[in-house]
Amino acid sequence: MPLRSDWSGDRCPIARSLDVVGDPWALLVLRQALQGARRYEDFRRSLSVADNVLSRRLAHLVEAGLLRREPYRDGGRTRQEYRLTEAGAELLPVLNALAQWGERHRPHADPAVHMDVVHTACGAVTAGPDRCTACGAELAAGDVTWRKSWAGDTALVGV
Amino acid sequence: MPLRSDWSGDRCPIARSLDVVGDPWALLVLRQALQGARRYEDFRRSLSVADNVLSRRLAHLVEAGLLRREPYRDGGRTRQEYRLTEAGAELLPVLNALAQWGERHRPHADPAVHMDVVHTACGAVTAGPDRCTACGAELAAGDVTWRKSWAGDTALVGV
DNA sequence: ACGGCTGGCTTCTCTGGAGCAAGCCAGATG
DNA sequence: CATCTGGCTTGCTCCAGAGAAGCCAGCCGT
């Protein structure tokens, strides 16, 4: 009797996806990874997440193939950083769709607070999660900027 | 010290969305609602979900405005059914994106098991979550059919 | 050389939701 | 009158999240 259901073998692809990313922390970690977070501390600080939760989440996402561990040199030591895999980066449409839905249906208390999905090449705000509604180009992680009214724009990083 | 973080006031719209739907059961309930489930028993049977979990989820989704309770006559009794609101139906791009990602990155053990997102009007399989990649039409819930290799197609219902 | 700092974790306690099973209530049905 | 059915609620156990503390390795200032 597991704590949580296992949908990894479900016939519905939505259920199989949710088995991996049907958890707020998983998607928030991926959101940060798309915005350039790589190191444990990057994630911890930007997400205010408890350490045990973060290390478990990272391990799960690595095991699921959405992130990959890469060693890097920190002075005399070898540490690990977490980079998006292609599978991880291709969750961008899911995150964009959530962002666009949230902007529309869960507005912030302060009406000046917004985040737009911008197609970097043409500079237009797009309402489509995977394709620019202005110029029609397909949107991969490297082509998108999240424009935030409360902070600098963030150009997303691909694999 | 809540059990789970509260992102309802977060500046990032992704976090605000996840505050409502960042939970596998919430999205699975909405998936069933799009496929026509309305009554408690519909959800319970199709999701194999525990009763306490289902009743709490339904109550949360009603409170969040993604579902709405409507009375209906069942013989001599008045019962409640759960219908999608516009906000709930507009999560379709999120579910489509998850379905398309799952088809690509979490294939079923049996390679014959697939689910495609079909634009009902033109009959084409679309790779876009919110817009038909074949004819370019925007996809609302009433325009989409989920074609399942293991069962009949399901035409989704709008509000 | 020694104490403190930093990054990346692991371990501890506490609490409440998930999974499961059982119970409950009202109307229909036999 | 008894059973069935739909729509829940209640009780149990167990584990994941929240939060705080601890730990280890290397650099850093004195």
CB A125 within 8 A of CB A103: no
The reply to whether B39 Cβ lies less than 7 angstroms from strand D is: yes
What's the pLDDT at B80? Answer: 85
Structure confidence by residue, pLDDT tens digits, B73-126: 777 778 889 999 999 999 999 999 999 999 999 999 999 999 999 999 999 999
Per the document, the length of chain A is 159
- Closest partner residue to A18 among B98, B115, B130, by Cβ? B98
Residue A84 CA distance to nucleotide C8 C1' (Å): 19
B131 strand-pairing partners:
B138
Chain A residues near residue B48 by CB distance under 8 angstroms: 5
The CA distance from B82 to B88, in Å, is 11
Residue A32 CA distance to nucleotide D23 C1' (Å): 27
What's the pLDDT at A79? Answer: 81
**Once rounded to an integer, what is the mean pLDDT over residues B58-67?**
97
Q: Give the DSSP H/E element, type plus range, for residue B82.
A: strand B77-84
What's the pLDDT at B158? Answer: 86
Confidence at A1, pLDDT banded by 50, 70, 90: low
**Once rounded to an integer, what is the mean pLDDT over residues A120-134?**
97
What torsion, rounded to 10 degrees, do the Cα atoms B53, A52, A152, A93 define? -50
DSSP state, B143? G
What's the pLDDT at A72? Answer: 81
Residue B13 contacts A, CB cutoff 8 Å: yes
CB B30 within 8 A of CB B149: no
What's the pLDDT at B67? Answer: 97
The nearest CA of chain A is from the CA of B71 a distance in Å of 25
The reply to whether B6 Cβ lies less than 7 angstroms from strand D is: no
- Closest partner residue to A129 among B17, B48, B129, by Cβ? B129
Structure confidence by residue, pLDDT tens digits, A42-57: 999 999 999 999 999 9
**Once rounded to an integer, what is the mean pLDDT over residues B48-69?**
96
Measuring from the CA of residue A80 to each C1' atom, give the nucleotide at the shortest distance: C8
Structure confidence by residue, pLDDT tens digits, B130-141: 999 999 999 999
B145 strand-pairing partners:
B118, B155
- Closest partner residue to A99 among B13, B105, B106, by Cβ? B13
Most B CBs within 10 A among A100, A104, A106, hence the mutation to make, goes to A106
The nearest CA of chain B is from the CA of A150 a distance in Å of 8
Residue B2 CA distance to nucleotide C15 C1' (Å): 9
The nearest CA of chain A is from the CA of B76 a distance in Å of 37
**Once rounded to an integer, what is the mean pLDDT over residues A130-141?**
96
For the sheet with B144-148, list strands across it: B115-119, B144-148, B154-155
Q: What percent of chain B lies above the pLDDT cut of 90? A: 89
Residue B87 CA distance to nucleotide D30 C1' (Å): 63
> Does the distance separating the beta carbons of B113 and A90 come in below 8 Å?
no
Q: What is the mean pLDDT of chain B?
A: 95
The CA distance from A25 to B67, in Å, is 24
What's the pLDDT at B122? Answer: 96
The CA distance from A106 to B64, in Å, is 9
What's the pLDDT at B72? Answer: 81
What's the pLDDT at B1? Answer: 62
- Using H for helix, E for strand and C for coil, what is the string for chain A? CCCCCCCCCCCCHHHHHHHHHCCHHHHHHHHHHHCCCCCHHHHHHHHCCCHHHHHHHHHHHHHCCCEEEEEEEECCEEEEEEEECHHHHCCHHHHHHHHHHHHHHCCCCCCCCCEEEEECCCCCECCCCCECCCCCCECCHHHEEEEECCCCCEECCCC
